[in-house]
Copies of this chain bind each other. A is one copy, B any other.
């Protein structure tokens, strides 16, 4: 049976969940794709593991110092890189070097962290095209929520008119708390931080940047646009006042932080900001960790998707959905690629 070698770069919660889920599905891959899928390498920022015969789950707890970096991964002979490192869209994060190296060498890449895709998306798409590598990004686009899938697969042929997404759990939580209990932004934030729903520095979420990053990835990878962060108008929730919250409530509206793309007058407008929805709109009921997207097309009308899963498992499953699409594509090709 043909072997497919996988490496995972970035070995925090999501990377580990992905490794475990992948190992639990090896029999499935054998049965459906006739492939012996081996996890040959994993690495974090300082340490890693390598075994050409494949790592087993019980070996993943103790990493060896020094086994890390793009050159380490390249030397493992992995055909597919799964990148799950920390996300930093201002620098591309540590993932960028791994993804560059993989795609340049013709390895397929499954990207979970958003940083590199936001920072250097166009370059990475070019690299993949040039080396005929597959670049899959479901995990980065909004974890288990089908977004790219809808654009690429379910709505294929129809022309997108607009996209609207509730893509950030922290702002959902904060707006919920402010609306349902009449507390202000600062109070809601302290509560959320105490409960683990907001980070110590919450600005990436509250100021809309996380939503903007996901919207940008959708626009550039799903819709063929070439937007940069500067092209987006980004407003967060940090300045929402109690009076605004009360006014929405009085009008029967529910505020959400939304990323949106609208095609109009031959161009596209992309922004992130608060929109308030009436109760009859499914978006009014997207709360907590649920994420949602609404795509409007010329021929298929409105399509809404919502997703609520347990993390990091759901994100790992999204990345491994990408792996199955790679397995399908590479199996359909016939002759094995040169190792």
Contact = CB atoms under 8 A, between A and B. Distances in A.
Interface in A292-307: 297, 299-307
Copies of this polypeptide in the complex: 2
Interface of A: 21, 25, 28, 144-146, 149-150, 153-158, 279-282, 284-287, 297, 299-310, 313-314, 316-318, 320-321, 323-325, 332
Contacts of A305: 146, 303-306
Contacts of A155: 321
Given A153-B154, A282-B306, 8 more contacts: A144-B300, A149-B153, A149-B154, A153-B321, A280-B285, A280-B287, A284-B285, A305-B306
A325 B156 contact: yes
Nearest to A320: B157
A155 B322 CA distance: 10
A305 B297 CA distance: 15
A132 to B, nearest CB: 13
A303 to B, nearest CB: 5
A149 B152 CA distance: 11
A179 B272 CA distance: 37
A281 B317 CA distance: 24
A158 B332 contact: no
Contact of A299 (B302, B309, B324): B309
A302 B305 CA distance: 10
A287 to B, nearest CB: 8
A166 to B, nearest CB: 12
Contacts of A318: 300
A304 B307 contact: yes
A302 B313 contact: no
Contacts of A316: 299
